[in-house]
Structure 1
Amino acid sequence: MTTPVTVAGKVFLIFYGLLGCAATILFFNLFLERIITLLAVVMKAVRERRIRNSGLLPPGIRHDFSAYSLPGWKPSVYHVMLILGLSAITISCCASAMYTPVEGWAYLDSLYFCFVTFSTIGFGDFVSSQSDAYKYQSLYRVANFFFMLMGVCCIYSLFNVISIVIKQVLNWILEKMSCLFLPALQ
């Protein structure tokens, strides 16, 4: 493992970490926004196709679907959470299928590695790409990079959406509690 040893290296790491972590959060938030925009475009396209195919419009009359702006098509936070969760599971399962034979880990250990890595917990008890020689080493390193990038994007975005759901649940609980206690205080 590479770590800074000198004072200058440690000071540089602190400043680099501040900028790097902020830029990473920005990148993941932009990734989540793009996922939400993609879902809105798909939902709008499906709705337009249903209207055209349903026969609700008289023949020969065209409907101007451009009147529906995209912001009105924001998907539910629960749909986004479901899609991100399924994406994270799919990426983790595929990555684990790669890590198991290449790294020689059990499949469950590979799944554990994926979660710990994708969530950036990073205990270090399992580390990929540590062998000097792999069969198809270049391909493995590219696939490893791809899985880690996509896994981190999906898991971080999923955490972000889960935090929104937790906030909604807490606000709902507080609202219910205030309804119970406000009449007693008056």
Structure 2
Amino acid sequence: MTSDRGFLWYATRPSCRLLTHFAFFIGYLSLGGIIFMLLEGAEERNMVLRLRERRRRFLEHNRCVHDADLEEFIEEVVHAANRGVSAVKNVSQPEPNWSFGQALFFASTIVTTIGYGRVTPLSDAGKAFSIFFAILGIPLTLVLFSACVERLMIPTRHLLYWLYGKLGHLYKVLHIQVLHLAIILCIHVVFFMLIPAAIFAILEPGWNYLDAFYYCFISLSTIGLGDYIPGDSFDQPHRALYKVATTFYLLIGITMLLLVITVFYDIPELNLGYHFYLKSDEACRKAEDSEKTKLKSKELGTSNKYIKQVDDVQSIRSGQYHSYQQDITPVTEEEP
């Protein structure tokens, strides 16, 4: 009985839940590191053996080449490759890495925080400008994303209200909100993951569908590992235009992903962050919301009364679902 009370007390403490979540997060990262080590370690060792054998055969067939000269040449090639300059085909490529299309693509990876890292500034002036460009560009991009998501939420909420009208007499509000989230998520996955992956698989030599889908996910989630980048092939036709089109794809795709996240967090039952709020924070938020309501009502010349949405069938039938959580309804104060 005492242990049950202790567990109940622990489960209801936000700080304890936060510590539990943090411990789980550390364990999750550690497990991921172990799995990646097991999966990729063997492939890395095989690649090292292949390179050693290739190097040994090259030196045997070219005895006039000294090992130190070969080492210096390899270092130069690797350094150039890390800066986006390929040594394949005798360093011949139709377009440079810093054409307008390529530079625009690079700028978009900075402001969206994707940061592939394949092509980087070579000059000190370019590195310094990247810092100032990111300081101003990242906030501007976040504001742009927020504004676009706010406007996209208008038709998204219309879809939710339509679902309420069609299914409100059959299902609860939470169930309809989850269905609405699933529809928005499917639209994002189909039009910004599956279809673009098929296009990239066709346009990119050496990419299969899994590689293309992997690129779409890693890029739109702003992870940006940089192992797959479209348009980096030396014989890619219309490379600059291809990079510009990819830039707009990334901007629109990230906006749609933020829309999905916004719809997700508008469902209180799915917002796990509520479980970690302290009571003082909750009281401050309620006080702040109350103050905002008072200010809003003063602007409208009304009182601060409002009607909360009730999660039942009657509320849906009566049409009280103008927002996900609550709808402020002005009510004029009665004369004393």
TM-score when normalising by structure 1:
0.61
Structure 2: where are the runs of 5+ without partners?
A: 1-83, 85-118, 167-175, 279-336
Once residues 131 and 207 of structure 2 are traced to their aligned partners in structure 1, the CA distance between those partners, rounded to angstroms, is: 34
More helix by share: 1
Gap change, CA 1:5 and 1:173, over 3 Å in 2: closer
> Is 1:112 matched up with 2:214?
yes
Once residues 126 and 19 of structure 1 are traced to their aligned partners in structure 2, the CA distance between those partners, rounded to angstroms, is: 27
Residue in structure 2 matching 1:168, options 243, 254, 271: 271
Once residues 194 and 259 of structure 2 are traced to their aligned partners in structure 1, the CA distance between those partners, rounded to angstroms, is: 18
Once residues 126 and 248 of structure 2 are traced to their aligned partners in structure 1, the CA distance between those partners, rounded to angstroms, is: 29
Q: 1:98-129 deviations in whole A, cap 9, x for unaligned?
A: 11122131211111100111112111110101
Structure 1: where are the runs of 5+ without partners?
A: 51-75, 176-186
Amino acid at match of 2:271: Q
Gap change, CA 1:83 and 1:35, over 3 Å in 2: farther
- Aligned twin of 1:101: 202
Answer yes or no: is the 8 Å Cα contact 1:100–1:107 preserved in 2.
yes
Once residues 215 and 147 of structure 2 are traced to their aligned partners in structure 1, the CA distance between those partners, rounded to angstroms, is: 26
Once residues 265 and 129 of structure 2 are traced to their aligned partners in structure 1, the CA distance between those partners, rounded to angstroms, is: 32
> Is 1:82 matched up with 2:182?
yes
> Is 1:127 matched up with 2:229?
yes
- Aligned twin of 2:126: 9
Answer yes or no: is the 8 Å Cα contact 2:197–2:216 preserved in 1.
yes
Q: Which has the larger radius of gyration?
A: 2
> Is 1:150 matched up with 2:252?
yes
Question: Match of 1:21, SS?
Answer: helix
Once residues 212 and 195 of structure 2 are traced to their aligned partners in structure 1, the CA distance between those partners, rounded to angstroms, is: 10
Gap change, CA 1:38 and 1:96, over 3 Å in 2: same
Percent identity, aligned pairs only, is: 27
Q: Which has the higher contact order (CA 8 A, sep 6+)?
A: 1
TM-score when normalising by structure 2:
0.37
Question: Match of 1:36, SS?
Answer: helix
Once residues 10 and 100 of structure 1 are traced to their aligned partners in structure 2, the CA distance between those partners, rounded to angstroms, is: 33
Answer yes or no: is the 8 Å Cα contact 1:113–1:126 preserved in 2.
yes
> Is 1:18 matched up with 2:135?
yes
Equivalenced residue count is: 148
Once residues 36 and 131 of structure 1 are traced to their aligned partners in structure 2, the CA distance between those partners, rounded to angstroms, is: 38
Once residues 78 and 30 of structure 1 are traced to their aligned partners in structure 2, the CA distance between those partners, rounded to angstroms, is: 24
Answer yes or no: is the 8 Å Cα contact 1:87–1:154 preserved in 2.
no
Task: Give the root-mean-square deviation of aligned CA atoms.
Answer: 3.5
Gap change, CA 1:121 and 1:172, over 3 Å in 2: closer
Answer yes or no: is the 8 Å Cα contact 1:129–1:141 preserved in 2.
yes
